[in-house]
Amino acid sequence: MQEIQPAGTEKARTVSSMFGRIASQYDRGNRVLSLGRDQAWRRIAVRLLNPAPAERVLDIGAGTGDLSLALAKTAGSVVALDFSLPMLEIGAAKVFGARIPVSCVAGDALRLPFPNESFDAVATAFTVRNLAGMERGFAEIFRVLRPGGRLAILEFTRPGSRLVSAVYKPYLSLVLPRIGGRLTGDGPAYRYLAASINSFTTPKEMGALLTGAGFDGVRWRLLNWGTVAVHLGTRPGAPARQRGAGIHA
Ligand SMILES: C[S@@+](CC[C@H](N)C(=O)[O-])C[C@H]1O[C@@H](n2cnc3c(N)ncnc32)[C@H](O)[C@@H]1O
């Protein structure tokens, strides 16, 4: 795998080096901070995306490979992309021995190294919040999906309920950075995580961005008392092989 230079901004460089620093402790941090729920959320996202055995699926921001592993249970092939080599190296070791081969690719979500319309489905977990330009990321996903191809985004979201917010906000600002810092030795990384969740979109705002990027049938399912969401959408148009059905020269 080759070192890659993330596109553009300071944010991309900060995010890449931050995940590089916490890579070896990342999975443990997830299990503890989500109270053991994060793998179930990934399984739900995969179930909603519903990849078929003949389908080629791209996992963007695959990191340590947990979503790729869940996708590999039903998809035909999986490509795991990330710009942090330390994260991807752990992922590559974990997906070795999955039901199907998972290809690990070092690359930038904002400049995907794939031709137009090359995937049947795209999945991404806890990544879009970290992108230096979310709209550009959605445009890239749209470009690499075939017409009729599906997208599933698993991400934290701002809860709608005041009661949940009243408990969740102090958890984010006080508890999460302290526990994350203790577990990984990297307090700033978990302060960034808390701040990025606190200032992130509501499910409705994210839905509007996806519709604006051209996706059809945008909808979402809330998990964990509305603090986590799976957004789904489809690139409009029938698959190329069906588009000409019934038309004869
Ligand atoms: C919070 S981790 C999520 C990892 C994994 N998807 C999971 O479910 O645990 C976010 C990942 O997105 C990657 N990432 C962030 N911005 C990226 C970009 N522009 N291109 C590629 N990967 C990116 C980070 O390196 C990191 O591995």
**Is any atom of ligand 1 closer than 6 Å to the C-beta of 125?**
yes
pLDDT in tens, 191-231: 998 999 988 999 999 999 999 999 999 999 999 999 999 99
Q: Is the pLDDT at 234 greater than 90, yes or no?
A: yes
What mean pLDDT is predicted for residues 46-67?
97
**Residue 9 has what pLDDT?**
78
Q: Is the pLDDT at 244 greater than 60, yes or no?
A: no
Residue 185 backbone dihedrals phi, psi, to 5 degrees: 75, 15
Calculated CA dihedral for residues 148, 138, 215, 105, nearest 10 degrees: 20
**Residue 241 has what pLDDT?**
47
CB count in 10 Å sphere of residue 48: 17
User: Which ligand 1 atom sits closest to the C-alpha of 109?
Assistant: 20
**Residue 7 has what pLDDT?**
53
Pocket test for ligand 1, best of 5, 18, 19, 33 (most atoms within 8 A of CB): 19
In a domain, 5, yes or no: no
pTM exceeding 0.85: yes
4-18, 26-40, 111-125, range with the lowest pLDDT: 4-18
Q: Cα(201) to centroid of ligand 1, in Å?
A: 18
The overall longest dimension of the chain from CA atoms, in Å, is 67
Q: Is the pLDDT at 245 greater than 50, yes or no?
A: no
Q: Cα(29) to centroid of ligand 1, in Å?
A: 15
134: Cβ–Cβ under 8 A, 6 or more apart, which residues?
128, 209
**Residue 6 has what pLDDT?**
52
Contact 67, 154 (CB under 8 A): yes
Contact 156, 227 (CB under 8 A): yes
CB count in 10 Å sphere of residue 187: 13
CATH number at 214 reads: 3.40.50.150
Task: State percent of the chain over pLDDT 70.
Answer: 92
**Is any atom of ligand 1 closer than 6 Å to the C-beta of 194?**
no
Q: How far apart are CA 23 and CA 91, in angstroms?
A: 10
Confidence band, pLDDT 50/70/90 cuts, at residue 80: very high
Domain with 116 in it: 10-157+201-237
In a domain, 190, yes or no: no
What mean pLDDT is predicted for residues 66-73?
97
**Residue 160 has what pLDDT?**
87
pLDDT in tens, 99-138: 888 999 999 999 999 999 999 999 999 999 999 999 999 9
Residue 180, judged by CB atoms within 10 A of its CB (0-12, 13-18, 19+), counts as buried
In a domain, 115, yes or no: yes
User: Which ligand 1 atom sits closest to the C-alpha of 20?
Assistant: 25
Q: Is the pLDDT at 44 greater than 70, yes or no?
A: yes
What mean pLDDT is predicted for residues 38-50?
98
In a domain, 78, yes or no: yes
In a domain, 247, yes or no: no
Comparison of pLDDT for 99 and 150, the residue scoring more:
150
In a domain, 140, yes or no: yes
**Is any atom of ligand 1 closer than 6 Å to the C-beta of 89?**
no
Split into its structural domains, the chain has a count of: 1
Q: Cα(163) to centroid of ligand 1, in Å?
A: 30
Confidence band, pLDDT 50/70/90 cuts, at residue 1: low
Comparison of pLDDT for 9 and 170, the residue scoring more:
170
Q: Is the pLDDT at 247 greater than 50, yes or no?
A: no
In a domain, 18, yes or no: yes
**Residue 184 has what pLDDT?**
85
In a domain, 184, yes or no: no
User: Which ligand 1 atom sits closest to the C-alpha of 131?
Assistant: 16
Confidence band, pLDDT 50/70/90 cuts, at residue 63: very high
Mean pLDDT of all residues in the chain? Answer: 91
- Residue 43 CA, chain-centre distance (Å), reads 13
**Is any atom of ligand 1 closer than 6 Å to the C-beta of 126?**
yes
**CA-closest candidate to residue 49, choices 135, 41, 116:** 41
